[in-house]
Structure 1
Amino acid sequence: MQRNWFLGDLLNQLLDRPDKRRGKDDKRSIAELCEALLSAEGEVSGFTLASTILDRYQTLDDAGKLDFFVYLNDQLELDAEKLADTARLYANDRSVDLYQKLSESAEPRRQELLRRLNQPSGATQELVAMRVDLLRFLKSDAELKRTDIDFVHLLRSWFNRGFLVLKQISWDTPARVLDKIVAYEAVHQINDLDDLRRRLYPPDRRCFAFFHPSMPDEPLIFVEVALTTEIPGAIETLLSEAREPIEAEQAKVAAFYSISNCQKGLAGISFGNLLIKQVVTELSRELRGLDTFVTLSPIPGLSRWLAGETEHPEHGHTSEAVLAATASAQDVRAMAARYLLLAKREDGMPLDPVARFHLGNGAELHELHADADQSPNGRAQSGGVMVNYLYDLNKTERHHEEFATRATIQASRSVRADSTAALAIKPRENTA
């Protein structure tokens, strides 16, 4: 499961000696350096030029960084007229020479620039960080989306499954990595070292992460797993200081209770479905007694949806009660089920992002639990309700296809019953 990176580290040290990262005294502008990297000069001294550009970028303020992205967007754009002319020629003459010219014309120069920038050791991580800046500027300059599309195109190829390394995170993992697990935890905050130890050290706990060889100390995404004897219905039962651990061999259920993406610069590049599938494979191989794979997941969009439903003639009164924390557990489950099954985006997909993720992986809505997350964040985002998504390994592929092609949501009888249950709080009478 773990790879030996000794050879790669040795080569990096040989190739990335201090004398190789020269060029700090180069007086050319960053745009001129980029043009040089794209030219014949770049073929000869590409490593030094790429290092110089990446170093120069780090010194820029926000105005300078924005100018850099505008340069990429406008000056390194594809030549649409040349592309159209070449395409017309290729339509009548399918020669290899014309095909090559067509392929070259169809690629913006900025893609080649980004590829050449990725030469020095550590450059991949610097380009991921560069995209964090780009995403920030996108909020006020939508035209930069063209450049972002090219970033995503290349990052997807650099971070495809063939390059990802699955590693188990344990209490013995180097501290520099454990510190990042604490920092990147996005679902259930890790409060201190004792809290971290409770999630990693007991025999009934597991944590797995994907890494990339070019970023060996930077987790891309990680999942925390509780091994239990039954499907959990509250996060406190998994994270409590007072709980009694079981031996891993006693477990029947693997519950994925936290999945955290770590790199903002890789937004839009999905690793979660690959991670869950590989972790299921690893756990099944290690523990033959496991027969159930579920999540205990938050419902992050529920309160926001309820706030927009308070005037609904049938359930507006219940929406208000859930938001005010005065609704019964049955009504909380009923409103959560209606949200997960019926609230949709314009494209027909579920409104809830966590639901889209797990249903898109082939899971089914299995069971809802009121008062499952008593933390301030859990109360604020969903009134404390959580949901199990069930991964039936015999059905995930079919469920994935049905969701992807027809937006079909798989749900258990109990969840469907919750969605149609009579509400305990009756609608207000119309006094007008």
Structure 2
Amino acid sequence: MNVASEWFSRSMSLLRKSPPATEAGADTVRPLAQRLKATLRRGAEANPPHVLRKLLEDLRAAADEQVSEVEGARHAKEVMAWYAQATAAQRQDLWLLLCELFGPDAQRIEAARAQYEKAKTPTEQGQAEIALRKALVSARTRVLQRFSVPEGGMRFLVNLRAELLALPKSDKRFAALDAELEYLFSTWFDVAFLELRRLSWDSPASLLEKLIQYEAVHDIRSWADLKNRLDSDRRCYGFFHPRLPNEPLIFVEVALLDHMAASITPLLDETAAPVDLAKATTAIFYSISNTQTGLRGVSFGNSLIKHVVETLLAEFPKLKHFATLSPIPGLRGWLSKQGDALLAQWDDKRHQEVAKALKTQAPVKVADLIVAADGALEWKEDTVLRKALAWCAAQYLAKEVKDSRPLDPVARFHLGNGARVERLNWGGDPSTKGMKQAFGLMVNYLYDLKRLDKHRALLAQGKLPVSAEMESLCKGK
């Protein structure tokens, strides 16, 4: 065999032993910079190099400061079209490009910062501040702004962030992109750009379907159920953004009553007669639902409640009280974890009384109380077990904080808006969900319009604003 034949045979042998390029290193993914320079895809890599390079080209064209908004948006639309057909893994490559190659210019920032530190006069400081602000605007910011321009662009970005938020918290690769989107959304979805609309039975069917789809507190079971919630003694309001015109960002359901509601059951009773609006003195916010996961971190609630109160007072000047009828979603989980330490505060007499009612041994274990509480709806008023569970719930609502904020997420929302914990309601939500979350308990948060700032000030000091009734419950009275 001649030299050429030997070389050919040896080369073919090596090729046969080598795995195909798309299978080699199946569990490894090369750094993005290497993949962009490569010819073939390797292993678990979602997109071949030529696709990555095309995406990078379109993103750079969209971010180009020299092109018009229209031209930049055209390139953004090409990326959006690709994204719509891409798999989850392929989409993550786009996120990586945006995170790794479109960040701020570190050298430009450092130069602007140095110039700011050298500035001495107010005029120099003002100019240096302008330069620093411009330096902090990244190419990523510009490309995301270009995505928002074409039709469907805002929806695209909101959905993209929802995908980011669905990733495990331990995955920090896309933190910069998430932070950038949250910052932009906080500006784009400022209350100054939102419209408050009343939703009624006469609203378009497509919009009513959104209410059914997004209701997060009390599931809407049927069209009859929805009609009841939009009856003459009810109001439903939502915030809308002009770039998402047919979809509420958040909506609140209100019942107009002559008393503070203690149970959700009559409010959801489709056969109940409407309340006489001439006698209505109280507005009960019984459901508030955020509809867009991608807008997490962008606060609408405070502004929504404020605007709704103003709108209701304009229509019903006789309204005196504004309160919620709210779930306590964190109660059971908290009691399961912290209950034994909580019950350690009881004296021997109380342990003996509760143990006797549970037919167990003192000291009481919280697991025994929780098992018994699955039948809490049958407990009569003033019984030992009912008082014990109410005391636990009052401790949770009136005292439990984390980083000076209420531990319960619903309490955190309402107290952050200036409400106070007003009243605990036994058997307020007897549904399966209500029993699973809080043994059927519900709570009223009261919006005292004259004391909202006072309550916020208390909360800023790490003190939860509560009524005298709740304070009494905490003391076991």
Give the TM-score category using the shorter length: 0.7 to 0.9
Aligned equivalent of 2:152: 122
Give yes or no for the alignment of 1:251 onto 2:280: yes
Q: CA deviation at 1:323?
A: 4.6
CA contact (8 A) 1:69 1:134 kept: no
Which amino acid in 1 is paired with 2:159?
Answer: A
Give yes or no for the alignment of 1:289 onto 2:318: yes
Aligned equivalent of 1:343: 400
Q: CA deviation at 1:322?
A: 4.0
CA contact (8 A) 2:62 2:73 kept: no
Aligned equivalent of 2:238: 209
CA distance in 2, matches of 1:231, 1:126: 42
CA contact (8 A) 2:404 2:463 kept: no
Which amino acid in 1 is paired with 2:98?
Answer: L
Within 5 Å, give how 1:276-425 maps onto structure 2: 276-312=305-341, 313-314=344-345, 317=365, 320-325=368-373, 326=375, 328-345=385-402, 347-403=403-459, 405-421=460-476
Which amino acid in 2 is paired with 1:250?
Answer: K
Aligned equivalent of 2:94: 68
CA contact (8 A) 1:323 1:383 kept: no
Moved over 4 A (4+): 95-98
CA distance in 1, matches of 2:181, 2:320: 41
Q: Kindly tell me: are residues 134 and 42 of structure 1, through their superposed partners in 2, closer, same or farther at Cα, counting changes over 3 Å?
A: farther
Aligned equivalent of 2:360: none
Deviates more, 1:380-389 or 1:242-251: 242-251
Q: CA deviation at 1:266?
A: 0.5
Q: Kindly tell me: are residues 31 and 251 of structure 1, through their superposed partners in 2, closer, same or farther at Cα, counting changes over 3 Å?
A: same
Deviates more, 1:291-300 or 1:70-79: 70-79
Aligned equivalent of 1:19: none
Aligned equivalent of 1:80: 106
Q: CA deviation at 1:139?
A: 3.0
Q: Kindly tell me: are residues 253 and 73 of structure 1, through their superposed partners in 2, closer, same or farther at Cα, counting changes over 3 Å?
A: same
Q: CA deviation at 1:130?
A: 1.1
Determine which structure has more spread, i.e. the larger CA radius of gyration.
2
SS in 1 for 2:157: helix
SS in 2 for 1:239: coil
Q: CA deviation at 1:80?
A: 2.8
Q: CA deviation at 1:98?
A: 4.2
CA distance in 1, matches of 2:409, 2:176: 25
Give yes or no for the alignment of 1:162 onto 2:192: yes
CA distance in 1, matches of 2:453, 2:288: 21
CA distance in 2, matches of 1:56, 1:184: 28
Identify which of structures 1 and 2 has the higher relative contact order when contacts are C-alpha pairs closer than 8 Å and 6+ apart: 1
Which amino acid in 2 is paired with 1:361?
Answer: N
Q: CA deviation at 1:260?
A: 0.3
CA contact (8 A) 1:164 1:213 kept: yes
CA contact (8 A) 1:332 1:385 kept: no
Q: Deviations over 1:203-240 (max 9, x none)?
A: 21111111101111111000000111100101102111
CA distance in 1, matches of 2:321, 2:312: 11
Which amino acid in 1 is paired with 2:63?
Answer: L
Aligned equivalent of 2:161: 131
Deviates more, 1:265-274 or 1:107-116: 107-116
Give yes or no for the alignment of 1:89 onto 2:115: yes
Q: Kindly tell me: are residues 281 and 40 of structure 1, through their superposed partners in 2, closer, same or farther at Cα, counting changes over 3 Å?
A: closer
Q: CA deviation at 1:38?
A: 1.6
**Amino-acid identity (%):** 38
Which amino acid in 2 is paired with 1:330?
Answer: K
Which amino acid in 1 is paired with 2:55?
Answer: I
Q: CA deviation at 1:113?
A: 1.1
* TM-score in terms of structure 2 length: 0.79
Aligned equivalent of 2:58: 33
Q: CA deviation at 1:320?
A: 3.7
Q: Kindly tell me: are residues 365 and 27 of structure 1, through their superposed partners in 2, closer, same or farther at Cα, counting changes over 3 Å?
A: closer
Show structure 1 runs of 5+ residues with no match.
1-25, 423-432
Which amino acid in 2 is paired with 1:400?
Answer: R
SS in 2 for 1:223: strand
Which amino acid in 2 is paired with 1:66?
Answer: Q
Aligned equivalent of 1:427: none
CA distance in 2, matches of 1:82, 1:323: 62
Which amino acid in 1 is paired with 2:372?
Answer: A
User: What is the RMSD of the two structures over their aligned residues, measured on CA atoms?
Assistant: 1.9
SS in 1 for 2:421: strand
Q: Kindly tell me: are residues 323 and 358 of structure 1, through their superposed partners in 2, closer, same or farther at Cα, counting changes over 3 Å?
A: farther
SS in 1 for 2:392: helix
Q: CA deviation at 1:122?
A: 2.2
CA contact (8 A) 1:332 1:370 kept: no
Q: CA deviation at 1:247?
A: 2.3
CA contact (8 A) 1:235 1:373 kept: yes
Aligned equivalent of 1:20: none
Q: CA deviation at 1:311?
A: 2.7
CA contact (8 A) 1:206 1:224 kept: yes
Which amino acid in 2 is paired with 1:417?
Answer: S
